[in-house]
């Protein structure tokens, strides 16, 4: 399984959307080939909603079924977990036809 070490892209705190987009490209490449990816947040203490959004919103939109089967998150701090859940839930709301978030 492909493992992406988020720390290597963003350091200890994720807030840079340009860097999030680099990770997003890698995720999309794997999802397009139906390959699993582990997003390893080891040593990343926190991240903004904007960062997580830029990283996973489009993969969820393009692969609403396989995203949840093929993408896994490891070593997440409580904050990172919470923000990932916020983004994943409003993305599903958005895809279900809800008005924005």
Partner 1 sequence: MKIYFSNNDILKSFNYFLESVDLGRPNELIIKTRSNWLNIHPAALVFSAALASVCGKENTIIDNTAGDSGLYLDRMGLYNYSKTASPYSYQSHDPAGRFIPISRIKTQEDQSRFVSDLAPLLHLDQDKSQTIRYVVGELVRNVLEHSESEDGAFVAAQYRAKSNVISLGVCDNGIGLRNSLAYFYHPNDDSEAIRLALAPGVSGTTNRGVTENNAGAGLFIVKNLSRITRSHFVIYSGKSLYKLLLYDKRTNKPRINANAFDDKHSLYENLPDFHGTLVGIDISLDDTNDFNEQMEYIKQSFTKALNDRRKINYRRVKFL
Which residues of the shown chain bind partner 1 in the complex (CB under 8 A)? 10-13, 15-19, 21, 24, 38, 45-46, 48-51, 53-54, 57-58, 61, 68, 71-79, 81-94, 96-101
* Closer CB to partner 1, 33 or 61, in the complex: 61
Separation CA 41–CA 91 (nearest Å)? 21
- The one-character DSSP state at 97 is T
> For residues 29 and 64, is the Cβ–Cβ distance under 8 A?
no
Kindly state the smallest distance separating residue 43's Cβ from partner 1, in Å. Answer: 11
User: Which residue number, 33 or 78, has a Cβ lying nearer to partner 1?
Assistant: 78
Q: Are 75 and 42 in contact (CB under 8 A)?
A: yes
């Amino acid at each position: 399984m492909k493992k992406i070490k988020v720390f290597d892209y963003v350091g200890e705190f994720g807030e840079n959307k340009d860097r999030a987009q680099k990770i997003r490209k890698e995720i999309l490449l794997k999802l397009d080939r139906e390959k699993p990816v582990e997003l390893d947040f080891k040593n990343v203490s926190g991240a903004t909603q904007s960062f997580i959004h830029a990283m996973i919103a489009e993969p969820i939109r393009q692969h609403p079924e396989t995203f949840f089967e093929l993408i896994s998150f490891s070593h997440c701090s409580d904050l990172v977990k919470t923000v990932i859940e916020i983004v994943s839930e409003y993305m599903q709301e958005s895809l279900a036809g809800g008005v924005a978030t």
